[in-house]
Amino acid sequence: MLKKEGEIRIPSGCAICGIIDRLGRRSINGQAAVDSIRVMHDRSNGLGGGFAGYGIYPEYADYYAFHIFYDDMKAKEAAERYLDRHFEIASMGIIPTRSVPSITDPPIIMRYFVNPLLTHLDTSDNIDEKMFVADSVFHINTNIDGAYVFSSGKNMGVFKAVGYPEDVGEFYRLDLYDGWCWTAHGRYPTNTPGWWGGAHPFALLDYSVVHNGEISSYDTNRRYAEMLGYKCSLLTDTEVITYIIDYLNRVQGFDFEDIAKIIAAPFWFEIDEMPEEEARRCKTLRNMYSSLLITGPFSIICGFTDGLMALNDRLKLRSMVAGEKDDIVYIASEEAAIREVCPDIDNIWAPKGGEPIIVRIEREDQQKF
């Protein structure tokens, strides 16, 4: 019998969570992220799940870890010819998986640990290593039919598929990986198809993004990103968030506090009430990067080389809570997901709309937050 309105729970979009050890210890097993996201099963519909782990490849920490989907052997051979011409390949192989009945029709899933050949880095043309790697990712994804680089950072990796996130975690055997940070996502697509490349996280270099919500400003954001050379070809609005953060942090050099002020900028009436110097800076950022303001309901978690940022839209139209226990910080769409993996959490709170939670790996010259 068809249930009527009010007789069934409709969750507010996808599920996201993140766990980070702010001392940078590889103390978090991938299974913890699986257990946390599993609690929010009803927030996804089986059309996408995924994880990003940081610190998981210590034996190849100085190499870029390329995770690549291939539709067929022709695509694999073409991509490997490209990699062989442009990169030193330290190791390559199939990413280990196990059979899970609900995960069907997987592509060929390969992993390569690579570094650019020095002959391809031309300092006179300002082509640095990260720029070359990013350009190579876009080249493969847009020019080699049936190949998709879905992870390309150092000492980190993305694992994603079509399926519920807990099944995706089992499929990729995430219990075999230890890291200092994990993020996870359960997808409930509303405007785009469910396919392996469209699952979250979306990653470029060391940046990875999981996202709950819908980006109303996608066309404006996408046009700006493509004007800068990014290729948005993955059929989802979340992709562009990753490129915006890469551009603002890696290319422009903004810290994550300023990035939050750009993509979830304060309202003008809030700026008018700020101290003069702070107001001047916020006005400058809003005017210079107005095309990078992200509108619509969203909550995101972005992993990066030395930390993690979680952020809501300015009106907090998507749920997000955070907690901490000793030196571990937890973030999730629902409090239950945190308590599942840390029942005796010391402190738990809900950040305000537009208020970032930024956790950095502790250094001698840095504070914890």
Catalytic residue positions, numbered:
14
Contact 298, 214 (CB under 8 A): yes
User: CA–CA distance from 91 to each of 61, 95, 174, 306 (Å)?
Assistant: 12, 12, 20, 25
52 exposure class (CB count in 10 Å sphere: 0-12, 13-18, 19+): buried
Q: What CA–CA distance (Å, rounded) separates 239 from 233?
A: 9
The residues with which 148 forms a beta bridge, in sequence order, are: 69
Give the three-class secondary structure for 24.
coil
Q: What CA–CA distance (Å, rounded) separates 325 from 191?
A: 37
68 exposure class (CB count in 10 Å sphere: 0-12, 13-18, 19+): buried
Q: What CA–CA distance (Å, rounded) separates 208 from 296?
A: 20
Enter the tokens of residue 34. 């699986």
Q: Measured at the alpha carbon of residue 77, what is the angle toward residues 75 and 80, in degrees to the nearest 5?
A: 105
User: How many CB atoms within 10 Å of residue 287?
Assistant: 8
291 exposure class (CB count in 10 Å sphere: 0-12, 13-18, 19+): middle
The maximal CA–CA distance of the chain, rounded, in angstroms, is 69
